[in-house]
Amino acid sequence: MTDSSYATSPTPNQAGHRAKKRFGQNFLHDRNIIDKIVRSIKPKPGQPLIEIGPGLGALTQPVLAKAGAVDVVEMDRDVIPPLQAACTGHGELRIHQGDALAFDFSSLPLTPPLRLIGNLPYNISSPLLFHLLEQPVTIADMHFMLQLEVVQRMVADPGNKQYGRLTVMLNYHSRCELLFKVPPGAFNPPPKVTSAIVRIIPHAEKPIIATNYEHFSNVVRSAFGQRRKMLSSSLKGLISAGQFAEAGVDPKLRPEQLSCEQFVRLANASDAA
């Protein structure tokens, strides 16, 4: 049972379009999963909704029906005609053809905070997430389909083997929540991995501010570049003994034992800029 008016409508036709590996395309077709995603997003009329990589419109169509208008960013020109056909009569679809990794979301004539959704290409998911979080425009939330392994890294706690650079850097910008898993069979063609829906809510105000963001990023990258070593070794030349003491961080710890806040304190204590 669902509470949606579109649940019985057909999934956009995929006949005649072959998924392209270079774009990381796997088209969602499972209506129950689509319905569950839309219920998680809760799209409403008047909200500035943007979908990244709409493909053939399996998610676009029901979101558009509830919101009335959606902007989409799509790189593959070949899917635009079937996407338009799938969404005809469901609302105002505004298509922006281009690479989401280079797209300036602040250029859209929308009133922030923006809401972003999409089935992100797994091969560019991490750089795309950072590109979005560093946009010069306020984002209310993001709901994305990603590889389960990536989402587990995003939501990992310190001390967990999946906790790493991605976790720390995303925690600096936002709060992440794994909503539910999506099996390979929900896609055509089915990927070789399980997927998951993640909700990302950017901090309205960051709990702690890095005085030099590039230095903070470098500290985190260097630490996890040698994650089996103690911080005193992996950060040698970047953080002195006195700076470890100033930040209140034990240099004998390994990087996966530090919270995002502790990394920021280390970076701020050693920032020479």
Q: Which parts of the chain are beta strand (E)?
A: 27-28, 49-52, 69-74, 92-97, 114-119, 139-147, 174-182, 187-188, 195-202
The total domain count for the chain is 2
In a domain, 153, yes or no: yes
Show which of 149, 170, 202 is a domain's final residue: 202
**Whether residues 50 and 70 fall in one domain:** yes
pLDDT by residue (tens digit) across 176-193?
999 999 999 999 888 889
Provide the domain limits for residue 226.
213-270
Q: Do 265 and 243 contact (CB within 8 A), yes or no?
A: no
pLDDT by residue (tens digit) across 9-67?
345 544 454 544 444 457 788 999 999 999 999 999 999 999 999 988 999 999 999 99
**Whether residues 194 and 217 fall in one domain:** no
78-97 average pLDDT score: 94
Quickly state the pLDDT bin for 81 (edges 50, 70, 90): very high
Q: Say if residue 5's pLDDT is above 90.
A: no
**Whether residues 96 and 147 fall in one domain:** yes
**Whether residues 262 and 224 fall in one domain:** yes
pLDDT at site 11: 53
**Whether residues 90 and 183 fall in one domain:** yes
Nearest to 11 by CA among 63, 59, 58: 58
149-159 average pLDDT score: 96
CATH of residue 194: 3.40.50.150
The β-bridge partners of 117 are 51, 143
216-245 average pLDDT score: 95
Percent of the chain with pLDDT over 90: 78
Give Dmax over CA atoms of the chain in angstroms: 65
How far apart CA 115 and CA 134 sit, in angstroms, is 15
Residue, of 78 and 96, whose pLDDT is higher: 96
**Whether residues 187 and 223 fall in one domain:** no
201-229 average pLDDT score: 95
pLDDT at site 12: 52
Q: Do 270 and 243 contact (CB within 8 A), yes or no?
A: yes
Show which of 202, 225, 240 is a domain's final residue: 202
**Whether residues 154 and 245 fall in one domain:** no
Nearest to 181 by CA among 144, 142, 148: 148
**Whether residues 198 and 238 fall in one domain:** no
Q: Say if residue 126's pLDDT is above 50.
A: yes
pTM: 0.88
pLDDT at site 84: 95
171-179 average pLDDT score: 97
**Whether residues 61 and 118 fall in one domain:** yes
**Whether residues 100 and 70 fall in one domain:** yes
142-156 average pLDDT score: 96
pLDDT at site 70: 98
Positive/negative CA dihedral, 88, 94, 97, 102: negative
Helix (H, G, I), strand (E, B) or coil at 185: helix
In a domain, 235, yes or no: yes
187-215 average pLDDT score: 93
Please give the structure tokens belonging to residue 143: 């709901």
Q: What does the mean pLDDT of the chain come to?
A: 89
Show which of 172, 202, 232 is a domain's final residue: 202
**Whether residues 224 and 172 fall in one domain:** no
**Whether residues 231 and 125 fall in one domain:** no
